[in-house]
Amino acid sequence: MECHFSNKNLATLSIFLATITLVYYREELTNNSLLFYTDKYPSTNSNWPSWLPRDDLGIALERASTADKTVIVAVINEAYVESDYPSMFDIFLEGFWVGERTRPLLRHLVVVSMDKTAHERCLFRRLNCYLLVAGGGFSGEKLYMSGEFIEMMWRRTAFLLEVLHRGYNFIFTDSDVIWVRDPLSRLKKNGAFDLQISTDTFTGDPFSEGNPINTGFYAIRSSNKTTSLFEKWYGMRSTSTGMKEQDVLQMLIRDMGALREFNISARFLDTQYFSGFCSDGQNIGSVITIHANCCRTIKAKIVDLKAVLMDWKRFKSGNSSSDFRWSPHAACANSWER
């Protein structure tokens, strides 16, 4: 039995099949990124089909990824880029420039912007940038523990959960963390942990769940275990009114046994290496990162982080580590009085 199709029938069939294919791909891509809207900036990926919805996050992660699917993630908003020079973002990037073996790490950095002003500054710096259209209210400075600050931290957590869902390991860093040395060698030397997270003060035991964590710097491996932890963590936002996401994760670890529940191997990082204003690493020869924690305002952080960079440059110019002392973090100490 022979079937004969007219040119008109063939054209109709082609249009039908193309429509079905388009609907399928749109549903697939939408279902994989429900939390996020994509930006309108052109992609450098010229092979991306013009008829498919863009997946800018996927493009940014793939571009930044190491061979083992690891990326570095930082989140900024207008307040971090708009100030008298240098801005917080300028200081953050300066750390990579003057640090030891840190410049090449910029190729693995994904800068996530909470507003278009921050995104445009990132693009001007010719970095790997992703615009997270988070819905309004995230442009200006969000004072520590204000309602907007807490909401922005939860939105950040939702974004990082999406990164894990996509199968990427990541090192998250606040943009008020100065990287003066490459942390990867120390993190690898520590061992193959699911989670390595910084501390405000270190108890002396890297496995003690009593360490006060700081979510401003941590490394995490993507797995069913870690995504389950993040899902439970993010799921508690509506029942944790007035608590920032860091406090909720601390409660999950210390009081609710979440690491054991999900069989997650974790290491709490020593402030000798992963330092901060809460607890300075005194040995400049071993310090890897310096976090402007225990500080209330961006203005104060900028003042004291500029001093950190000057201290570092002074050390690199030939000063002995035995004579080294960090400058006092006076602006941050005074920021709590206002």
Range of the domain at 132: 56-335
For strands 289-291 and 177-179, give the pairing.
antiparallel
3-state secondary structure of 1: coil
What residues are paired with 171 via a beta bridge? 72, 219
Q: Which two tokens stand for residue 280?
A: 């300075």
CATH classification at residue 274: 3.90.550.10
Integer Cα distance of 328 and 332 in angstroms: 9
Return per-residue pLDDT of the chain as tens, 338 residues: 444 545 555 555 454 544 444 443 333 333 333 233 333 333 334 454 555 556 899 999 999 999 999 999 999 999 899 877 899 999 999 999 999 999 999 999 999 999 989 999 999 999 999 998 645 555 555 555 465 778 888 899 999 999 999 999 999 999 999 999 999 989 988 888 999 999 999 999 999 999 999 999 999 999 999 999 999 999 999 898 878 899 999 999 999 999 999 999 999 999 999 999 999 988 999 999 999 999 989 999 999 999 999 999 999 988 767 788 899 999 999 998 86
**Distance in angstroms (rounded) separating the CA atoms of residues 279 and 293:** 9
Q: Where are the beta strands (DSSP E) in the chain?
A: 70-76, 109-113, 129-131, 169-173, 177-179, 195-199, 213-220, 266-268, 274-276, 289-291
Q: Is residue 2 part of a domain?
A: no
> What confidence score (pLDDT) does residue 223 get?
97
Residue 71 lies in a domain: yes
Residue 114, judged by CB atoms within 10 A of its CB (0-12, 13-18, 19+), counts as: buried
CB crowding 75-104: b at 16 or more within 10 Å, else e = bbbbbbbbbeeebbbbbbbbbbeebeebee
Q: How many domains would you assign to the chain?
A: 1
Q: Does an H or E element contain 78, and which? A: helix 78-81
Question: CB–CB of 170/73 below 8 Å?
Answer: yes
Residue 329 lies in a domain: yes
C-alpha–C-alpha distance, residues 154 and 245, integer Å: 6
Half-sphere exposure in the Cβ direction for 266 (13 Å, CA):
26
pTM summary value: 0.82
Sheet with strand 177-179: strands edge to edge: 177-179, 289-291, 274-276
CB atoms within 10 A of CB 332: 22
Give domain status of residue 50, yes or no.
no
Q: For residue 44, is it within any domain?
A: no
